[in-house]
Amino acid sequence: MNQIVLHLGSNVGDRKAMLHQAISLIQDRIGKVNLLSSVYETEAWGKKDQSDFLNQAVLAETGLNPGQAMESCKAIEKHLGSVKSEKWGPRAIDIDILFYNQSVYQMKI
């Protein structure tokens, strides 16, 4: 199994519920969630004229390769209604891969 660390962020709607829904879908579609960070509220970065974000990190085990994991993250975002209409803009949910085992990958999606 591979270890993956994901970053979740939400600043639209019921932010806490969105994090919970994303975690449930990560468990179903990516792999077993082993650890959750605390939830942190932060100011928006890059584009300041929007609501603050709730952020959380997730440590999971996955059998997916990095590309499959990224596709699953994007599918979860879409499923939960996240639309990226502008760089650094508001998000119902944003899921980023922070770490995948000890490897570094560069992907364009």
Q: Structural domain of residue 81, as residue ranges?
A: 2-100
Model confidence at 78, pLDDT cuts 50, 70, 90, reads very high
Asked, for residue 35, whether it belongs to a domain, the answer is: yes
Asked, for residue 109, whether it belongs to a domain, the answer is: no
Determine the pLDDT at residue 105. Answer: 66
Asked, for residue 40, whether it belongs to a domain, the answer is: yes
In this predicted model, what pLDDT tens digit does every residue of 12-63 receive, in sequence order? 999 999 999 999 999 999 999 999 999 999 998 888 889 999 999 999 999 9
Asked, for residue 46, whether it belongs to a domain, the answer is: yes
Determine the pLDDT at residue 109. Answer: 54
CATH code of 77's domain: 3.30.70.560
Distance between CA 83 and CA 58 in Å, rounded?
Answer: 22
Asked, for residue 105, whether it belongs to a domain, the answer is: no
What dihedral angle (degrees, nearest 10) is formed by the CA atoms of 95, 67, 32, 3? -100
CA distance to 38, 89, 102, 104, per residue, from 92 (Å): 19, 10, 29, 27
User: What is the maximum alpha-carbon separation in the chain?
Assistant: 41
Q: What's the structural domain count of the chain?
A: 1
Distance between CA 90 and CA 53 in Å, rounded?
Answer: 9
Asked, for residue 107, whether it belongs to a domain, the answer is: no
In this predicted model, what pLDDT tens digit does every residue of 49-66 receive, in sequence order? 899 999 999 999 999 999
